[in-house]
Amino acid sequence: MGLFDFLTGGSGPEKALKLKSKVTQKYGEPSTRQKALQQLGEMKYPEAVTVLLSRFTVTVDPLTTDADEKEHTFELIKHFGQDAVAPVSAFLKTSDQATSWALRILQELLSEDALMGVIADTLQHLSSRYTRDPEKKVVLLHHVLGKQDPRVAPAVLPFLEDMSDDVKIAAINVLGPLKYEPAREPLLQLLTNEDTARRVQTVALAALAESGFGVQGYQDKVQAALVEPYSLDKDGRVQRRP
């Protein structure tokens, strides 16, 4: 720390980190929180972006003030440009909160290809760790729905074994249209496992019908799991009747 830093209370990054308590202050004067946000927006350090992101993790009253402050925070972070990408990507990977805000920021700053790389990396990270709240996984999986990027299917496949039925369903919905061969057997296992929730089985049937996968090795079990409007055709594929 130089003499100037000593006289002014620390280096720029240290000043940014010290403002976190004000940014996440839920009670007291809103002006204190808003001033801290503005100060961070005027800094040029990645730590300032990290602290700004913490504003998305709390909700204050009234909700109109909360919404206005979060929109302002979004604009402040966006103005950091490419300097914000690394801290926002790290936040997306490590925080269980504010996933939608992080994605929204990255959409503004990255190309579609680069954004999909960040999301695929985050999904791979999440697939190997337990999270009590499945919302983050579901938000990310919904974001890649309909994407044809070759990184998506391998990153999504492990979520067929997630503890949350909502996560399983979101993953199935992504994988069905992609016709990703390694997903065939896990989908069939989900469909035919007696411990699988009925709503998950129904979505798995739809995914198998859309993918065109054969049910070889599972034909009898699949037949027993069929419900209207699904049936097996002569080639051993699930089909949906009109």
pLDDT along the chain (242 residues), means of 10: 44 88 95 97 94 98 97 98 97 95 98 97 91 92 96 98 96 97 98 96 97 95 94 94 84
| CA of residue 227 relative to chain centroid, distance | 32
How high is the pLDDT of residue 3? 38
How high is the pLDDT of residue 128? 81
Task: Report the C-alpha gap between 102 and 92 in whole angstroms.
Answer: 6
How high is the pLDDT of residue 9? 47
How high is the pLDDT of residue 6? 42
How high is the pLDDT of residue 10? 54
How high is the pLDDT of residue 241? 87
Q: Is 121 exposed, middle or buried (0-12, 13-18, 19+ CB in 10 A)?
A: middle
Decide: 45 and 66 in contact? Cβ < 8 Å: no
How high is the pLDDT of residue 31? 96
> Token pair 């000043």 is at which residue?
15
Show the tokens assigned to 74: 């979004």
How high is the pLDDT of residue 133? 85
How high is the pLDDT of residue 11? 60
How high is the pLDDT of residue 177? 96
Q: Which of 60, 58, 56, 67 is CA-nearest to residue 102?
A: 56
How high is the pLDDT of residue 164? 94
Decide: 215 and 185 in contact? Cβ < 8 Å: no
Which residues have C-beta within 8 Å of that of residue 29, sequence separation ≥ 6? none
Task: Report the C-alpha gap between 82 and 110 in whole angstroms.
Answer: 8
Task: Report the C-alpha gap between 66 and 68 in whole angstroms.
Answer: 6
